[in-house]
Structure 1
Amino acid sequence: MDGVELLVNGGLLVIFLVVLILPFRVKCIEHNLEAFLFACGVAALTIAGLASIPGETTGWSLAILEEALLAPLKITTVFGIPVGIVQIVLLVGLLIYWFHHRLESAIVGMVERFPLPAIVFLLIVILGLVSSIISAILASIILVEIVNALPVVKKAKVEIAVVACFAIGLGAGLTPLGEPLTTIVVSKLKGEPFNAGFTFLFDNLAIYIIPAVIALGFVGVFLFRRSHTGDTKLECIIGRESLRDIVIRAAKVYLFIMALIFLGEGFKPLILAYIIHIPSAGLYWVNIVSAVLDNATLAAAEIGPTLSLQQIVSALMGLLIAGGMLIPGNIPNIIAACKLEITSREWAEVGVPLGLALMAVFFVILFVPAWVGMG
């Protein structure tokens, strides 16, 4: 390893540790996470520019700038009009601003008709399963508006939101419509030998994801029963945000997505030099880094037609599960944390143990039978 490579890898490792640790240690960073991650992304991308990788572009480029500026504004096209995360967040915020009384009445009616544990279970499971069709973004926006209005204490809202974001992140993995990661994977595997089409992910992941989403519904109910005090003074209330608050939240989401793109591209030298060469069982655990990095970038680097189906499934499950552990890990997390004002520490207190438990369970499911068969 020459001096430049050592400098690049060491610098990127330091940035990774800073991203992982400081949001839990420094209050001002915790409350300005978007700007902090953006600054770390700029630093990572600048350091990555010193690396020289044959056949790969690292560091700053017009393509990266264009992607960072446009990706939050265009994830798909509807009737020829680009639609992105920011527009959806802004539009839904405005609709709630104009029709918040009707939405409040609908949620009040739901709470009056159904017990809260049933609402929590159905909210997690239904949004988790339909996120693959309506997208993880829209599912998470629906989630936070309902959770925000529920007559429950803040701790219960945090737990419901975190568990539901795990479910949404997993469920979105069933089709190319769910999130950028799935779109990239199907695109990379569309040729031989897999000839991946629209149902490829569902055919290979549904057996793992659907039971996991249902299990998360029960986990959500368990956590809710433990945290909710049954305070009868709490009411269903959807506070009417100001137009300024709605615009600021959309801007924060925009900055967050830019930061994740910069971080993902900035860490490319480490990903290409080390991560993609790890055996599948090890890669499954190493993909925990998607808790702080853009899992779409990791998927683009890791997944390809030369892998076996078992390697692809295990890598994807690692990415999808770990993405729920911390706020930067997934777009639903970002939307929920911004709207519900969940701090990095509050998220991690629920997300890290739940994510590690899921990782352990699926490690046994994915790898142990094969090892036993080899024995």
Structure 2
Amino acid sequence: MLSMDMLANVGLGLIFILVLILPFRVKCIEHNLEVFLFACGVVALTLSGLIIIPGEQTGWSQAIVQEALLSPLHVTSLFGIPVGIVQIVLVFGLVIYFFYHRLQSAIVGMVDRLSLSWIIFLLIVVLGLVSSIISAILAAIILVEIVNALPVVKKAKVEIAVVSCLSIGLGAGLTPLGEPLTTIVVSKLSGAPYHAGFTFLFDRLGIFIIPAILVLGVVGVFLFSRSHKGDEKLECSVERETIKEILIRAGKVYLFIMALVFLGEGFKPLILEFIVSIPSAGLYWINIVSAVLDNATLAAAEINPVLSSQQITSALMGLLIAGGMLIPGNIPNIIAAGKMGISSREWAKTGVPLGLILMAAFFCILFIPSWLGLA
């Protein structure tokens, strides 16, 4: 007879499969992804409470509820004021609403001065590189407004957005300012033996991430050239949202982040029991689950000062790359998909193959030389 722990783990496994599959198969779930993920998070967190892990809090608690309520509102602090994804989405949405005509004129002027291929390359590369300073959230908002205004077909806009979010997600991994994952990693490694500071991530990941961002810029131009097919007659325009739509989008983002907190905490027993004990090379590939889970939660469970430098590098690269493959994997994806109306299927069509290619390429870079005795 199965124990309660085993039954709960089986239930969590089933929920993970449903989260991975249903958004691509069921239209009503695809169009209401925030509500679906929130419901799955509530069930997962309830099931996790049936699993006892010594020294670990599982299931519902006041701290988890508080974290879920506050996380969307407090990603970082600016001049002592809490700043979160919801405030940024709301404030910049209102700024764009009130300065609509100036924004439209600026983007039209940019399109007149530069070729679309150069605009796309610079958009992907520059936002990827600066996301570690201005944050992935702000970089994603800037991305959406520019891409929405480009005179290109819908398919090309989707592909540009997906490639750009991959670039932003990678670039955000270079400093503690980029995203919650990096803040957690630097905090956990701030003591001996690494004494991680502001440049810790850049020193270890920059040699991999910066070339990858440049490559993504080239890939974005290639995909645009293939999808655009020379249609230069489309008008450059920025669709002006209503204030009601801006408020609804901010509310959906709030619910989405709450859902990710519940999912991350709900799947904690699976992470602690099965994932963290996997060897470095296996952990790299297992971290592909960050395509549907909050990568900050995975990083909090995996990253530890006892890990070797290579283990830390490989785990982080796996998390950062896989986070761009599907919409729930990273905050920029959530913002871009919500504002541009990109479905889970549309995102995956570009994000999954591109993410897998990057995963395979970096697996060879990170592990093959050491296996051959070259590193």
TM bracket, shorter-chain basis: over 0.9
Report Cα offsets for 1:174-202 as digits up to 9, x if no partner. 00000000000000000000000000000
Kindly indicate whether the alpha-carbon contact (under 8 Å) linking 2:152 and 2:232 is maintained by their aligned counterparts in 1: no
- Does the CA contact (< 8 Å) of 2:321 and 2:359 recur in 1? yes
How far 1:2 sits from its partner (Å)?
5.8
1:106 matched residue in structure 2: 106
Superposition pairs of residues 104-253 of structure 1, within 5 angstroms: 104-253=104-253
Specify the SS of the correspondent of 1:77.
strand
In structure 1, what is the Cα distance between the partners aligned to 2:6 and 2:55? Answer: 20
Aligned partner of 1:363 in structure 2 is 363
2: CA distance between counterparts of 1:215 and 1:231?
Answer: 25
Q: Where does structure 1 differ by over 3 angstroms across 4 or more consecutive aligned residues?
A: none
Cross-structure match for 2:302? 302
* 2:121 and 2:217 in contact (8 A); partners too: yes
> Aligned equivalents of 1:190 and 1:134: distance in 2?
22
Kept in 1, the 8 Å contact 2:74–2:84? The answer is yes
2:373 match: secondary structure: helix
> Counterpart of 2:318 in structure 1: which amino acid?
G
2:28 is aligned to: 28
1:278 equivalenced with 2:272 (yes/no): no
Q: Cα offset for 1:4?
A: 1.3
Deviation at 1:79, TM superposition (A): 2.3
Identity of aligned residues (%): 76
Amino acid at match of 2:76: T
- Find the counterpart in structure 1 of residue 67 from structure 2: 67
Partner of 1:323: 323
- Residue 77 of structure 2 aligns to a residue in which SS? strand
Shift of 1:77: 1.7
8 Å CA contact retained: 1:152, 1:230: no
Q: What letter matches 1:130 in structure 2?
A: V
CA shift, 1:232, in A, is 3.2
Q: Distance in 2 between matches of 1:242 and 1:233?
A: 27
Query: Which digits, 9 at most, give the CA deviation of each residue in 1:179-238, with x for residues without a partner?
Result: 000000000000000000000000000000000000000000000000013323311111
CA deviation profile, 1:12-33 (whole Å, cap 9, x unmatched): 0000000000000000000000
Quick one: which amino acid aligns to residue 95 of structure 2? L
Alignment check: 8 A CA contact 1:281 1:367 kept: yes
Give the drift of 1:81: 1.8
Aligned-residue CA RMSD in angstroms?
1.1
Please report how far the alpha carbon of residue 374 of structure 1 lies from its aligned counterpart in structure 2 after TM superposition.
7.7
| 2:76 is equivalent to residue 76 of structure 1 | yes
Shift of 1:6: 1.0
What is the TM-score when the length of structure 2 is the normalising length? 0.99
Q: Deviations over 1:18-55 (max 9, x none)?
A: 00000000000000000000000001000001000000
Q: Residue by residue, what CA displacement relative to the aligned partner does 1:71-96 show, whole Å, maximum 9, x if unpaired?
A: 10011222222111000000011011
Give the letter aligned to residue 36 of structure 1.
F
| Structure 2 residue matching 1:293: 3-state secondary structure | coil
Question: Residues 152 and 228 of structure 2 are in contact (CA less than 8 Å); yes or no, is this contact kept in structure 1?
Answer: yes
1:310, 1:4 → 2: CA distance?
37
Partner Cα separation in structure 2 for residue 254 and residue 157 of structure 1: 25
1:56 aligned onto 2:56: yes
User: Is residue 2:312 matched to residue 1:312?
Assistant: yes
Partner SS, residue 15 of structure 1: helix
| 1: CA distance, partners of 2:102 / 2:275 | 50
Is the CA contact 1:45–1:266 (under 8 Å) kept in the aligned structure 2?
Answer: yes
Q: The residue matched to 2:372 in structure 1 has which SS?
A: helix
Distance in 1 (CA, whole Å) between partners of 2:192 and 2:77 is 28
Task: Give the total of aligned pairs.
Answer: 375
Q: Distance in 1 between matches of 2:160 and 2:233?
A: 20
- Residue 46 of structure 2 corresponds to 46
Q: Quick check: 1:153–1:229 contact (8 Å CA) kept in 2?
A: no
In 2: Cα distance, 1:101 partner to 1:29 partner: 35
Q: Find the residue that maps to 1:236 and give its secondary structure.
A: coil
8 Å CA contact 2:48, 2:59 repeated in 1:
yes
Contact 2:159 2:350 in 1 (8 A): yes
- Aligned residues of 2:321 and 2:355 also touching (Cα < 8 A): yes
Question: Does the 8 Å contact 2:293/2:328 carry over to 1?
Answer: yes
Alpha-carbon separation, structure 2, partners of 1:15 and 1:36: 11
Name the counterpart of 1:91: 91
The whole-number CA distance in structure 2 between the counterparts of 1:232 and 1:215 is 25
- Cα distance between partner residues in 1 of 2:229 and 2:279: 47
